[in-house]
Amino acid sequence: MASKLSAPLRRRLKKAARLAAKSSYSPYSKFRVGAAILTGSGKIFTGCNVENASYGLCNCAERTAIFTAAAAGERIVKAVAVYTPTATPTSPCGACRQVINEFGPDALVISICDSAETIETTLDQLLPHAFGPANLR
Ligand code: THU
């Protein structure tokens, strides 16, 4: 399971999420989010939230990272790290949980922030009984 991620890999993933938040385009919410995902090939892909003047078109950091990885041919998400420059960690929104499920139903999900508080869980815990690819087979 992905929760058996080595300490160095965990550190790299968290660092990548922190760095990704620097690119956040969030002029409306002013809520910067960075995400990093570890894929089946062992690569790390990152993303940030990208907002739009038409608010409903805003894209979350997690989905930016996953879509970038998918577009590069990746099909397995082993772990997701989310960083927000806040006092408490931010858990992926419902839409992002569904998108993570597509490629990472067993993914480890780590949320970090600017305090020592973290959330470490799994996608299965965040989205139990998920609707996914198997339902369409
Ligand atoms: N946001 C994310 O990027 N990830 C989440 O999991 C929660 C919300 C973004 C979307 C929007 O740009 C801003 O945070 C405020 O909702």
Q: Please provide the average confidence, as pLDDT, over all residues in the chain.
A: 97
Question: What's the pLDDT at 103?
Answer: 98
| 127 touches 95 (CB < 8 A) | no
Indicate if the pLDDT at residue 1 is higher than 70: no
Indicate if the pLDDT at residue 80 is higher than 90: yes
**Which distant-in-sequence residues (6+ apart) come within 8 Å of 55 by Cβ?**
28
Q: What is the CATH number of domain 2-125?
A: 3.40.140.10
Average pLDDT over residues 80-108: 98
Listed residue (69, 115, 67, 86) closest to 26, CA to CA = 86
Indicate if the pLDDT at residue 3 is higher than 80: no
Q: Where are the domains of the chain?
A: 2-125
Share of the chain above pLDDT 70, in %: 98
Residue of 62, 74, 117, 120 with catalytic role: 62
Phi-psi region of 42 (alpha: psi -120 to 50; beta: other; left: phi over 0): left
Residue nearest to atom 2 of ligand 1 (CA): 60
Average pLDDT over residues 45-67: 98
**Could you give the CA distance from residue 10 to residue 14 in angstroms, rounded to a whole number?**
6
Average pLDDT over residues 1-9: 79
Query: 93, 96, 127: which to mutate for ligand 1, most atoms within 8 A of CB?
Result: 93
Share of the chain above pLDDT 90, in %: 97
Ligand 1 atom closest to the Cα of residue 50 is 12
Ligand 1 atom closest to the Cα of residue 29 is 15
Indicate if the pLDDT at residue 8 is higher than 90: yes
Tens of pLDDT, residues 99-129 = 999 999 999 999 999 999 999 999 999 999 9
Calculate how far, in angstroms, residue 137's C-alpha sits from the geometric centre of ligand 1: 32
Residue nearest to atom 1 of ligand 1 (CA): 60
Confidence band, pLDDT 50/70/90 cuts, at residue 4: confident
